[in-house]
């Protein structure tokens, strides 16, 4: 085992149906293994493994290991879930548990990612106090953000670096309102399409991507515009794309409004004046976001 894998306590669950269960049964009863979430009983009473053919990462709290998250082997079928977590137990509550939360300290900058390898990649960039954290395939909840806030000693700057795909955009849209309600200043890293933090770390570009994060409103505006990406040659579609970014302006910190106007105009290939005039027509944007002619 490499020192890196040993430090992060990374394991591998082989493809066998009951390899882990058989290995642990001499020291633990079937009831204990089921209660731990590592094993489960079939209808005919056989004990089989919860995790198979996956990289396995322990989820910890201040007292020790409370559960496990496991990533599918690279090259697995699309039908195979990317992440599986052990079942809920008396220790592990997936609506509250956050991978790598024990590494957070006051002053750290949490980097919210989708899985354990991405969290490790963000943490090992060695810059600005970044600490990667993940819910491992589970949407961020109030319980997760409560835990995040407590671990950091209060809200501050956090960076989201979800995968640059549709699921990553959905993850940001769900997490952002909760984070802002808790007082977090949410920035988003602009990952290249189809990439993830672990992949960027391999080619040495993750630190730069995190360092150039921007308020999350920019990412939401980009996602809104992308819905019209093949229609922007038409004036009507450009106006619709601008209107689709209205929620991004409502949530944008006031000091970044002008920069967001510039971003939208460049993304849509129109003028800043057109963006401002179109958004003024949207009553829910005019006063709340301070966008004026």
As a CATH number, domain 101-212 is: 3.40.1360.10
Of 264, 292, 257, 287, give the one whose Cα is nearest residue 277. Answer: 292
Find residue 49's DSSP bridge partners.
39
Enumerate residues 6+ apart whose C-beta is below 8 A from 89: 35, 36, 37, 66, 67
- pLDDT tens digits, 47-59: 999 999 999 999 9
**Where do the structural domains in the chain lie, given as residue ranges?**
3-85, 101-212, 219-289
Q: Nearest-CA neighbor of 33 among 44, 20, 14, 45?
A: 20
pLDDT in tens, 255-288: 888 999 999 999 999 999 999 989 885 555 555 5
Position 285 scores a pLDDT of: 56
Predicted confidence at residue 185, as pLDDT, reads 93
User: What does pTM read for this prediction?
Assistant: 0.85
Reported as a single tens digit per residue, the pLDDT across 10-42 is 999 999 999 999 999 989 999 999 988 899 999
In the prediction, which pLDDT does 289 show? 54
Task: Say what the pLDDT of residue 281 is.
Answer: 57
For position 202, what pLDDT does the model report?
Answer: 93
3 vs 44, more confident: 44
Nearest by Cα to 163 from 129, 121, 126, 124: 121
List, for residues 223-264, the tens digit of each pLDDT value.
Answer: 889 889 888 889 899 999 999 999 888 878 788 889 999 999
pLDDT of residue 254: 81
DSSP string covering 161-208, please?
---SSHHHHHHHHHHHHHHHHTT-EEEE--PPTT--HHHHHHTT-HHH
What's the CATH architecture for 3-85?
Alpha-Beta Complex (3.90)
């Amino acid at each position: 085992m490499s020192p890196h894998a040993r430090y992060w306590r990374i394991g591998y669950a082989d493809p066998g149906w009951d390899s882990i269960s058989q290995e642990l049964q001499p020291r633990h009863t079937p009831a204990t293994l089921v209660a731990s979430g590592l094993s489960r009983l079939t209808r005919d009473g056989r004990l089989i493994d919860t995790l198979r053919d996956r990289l396995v990462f322990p989820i910890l709290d201040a007292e020790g290991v409370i559960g496990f998250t496991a990533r599918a082997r690279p090259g697995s079928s699309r039908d195979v879930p990317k992440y599986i977590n052990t079942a809920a137990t008396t220790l592990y509550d997936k609506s509250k548990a956050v991978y790598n939360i024990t590494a957070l300290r006051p002053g750290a900058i949490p980097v919210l990612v989708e899985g354990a390898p991405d969290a490790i990649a963000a943490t090992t960039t060695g810059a600005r106090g970044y600490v990667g954290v993940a819910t491992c395939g589970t949407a961020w909840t109030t319980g997760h953000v409560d835990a995040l806030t407590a671990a950091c000693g209060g809200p501050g700057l956090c960076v989201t670096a979800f995968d640059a795909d549709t699921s990553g955009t959905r993850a940001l849209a769900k997490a952002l309102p909760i984070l802002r309600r808790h007082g977090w200043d949410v920035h988003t890293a602009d990952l290249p399409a189809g990439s993830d933090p672990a992949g960027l770390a391999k080619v040495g570009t993750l630190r730069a991507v995190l360092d150039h994060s921007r308020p999350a409103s920019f990412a939401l505006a980009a996602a809104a515009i992308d819905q019209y990406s093949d229609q922007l040659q038409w004036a009507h579609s450009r106006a619709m794309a601008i209107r689709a970014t209205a929620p991004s302006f409502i949530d944008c910190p006031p000091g970044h409004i002008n920069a967001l106007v510039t971003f939208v105009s460049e993304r849509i290939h129109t003028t800043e004046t057109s963006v401002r005039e179109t958004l003024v027509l949207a009553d829910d944007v005019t006063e709340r976001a301070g966008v004026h002619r």
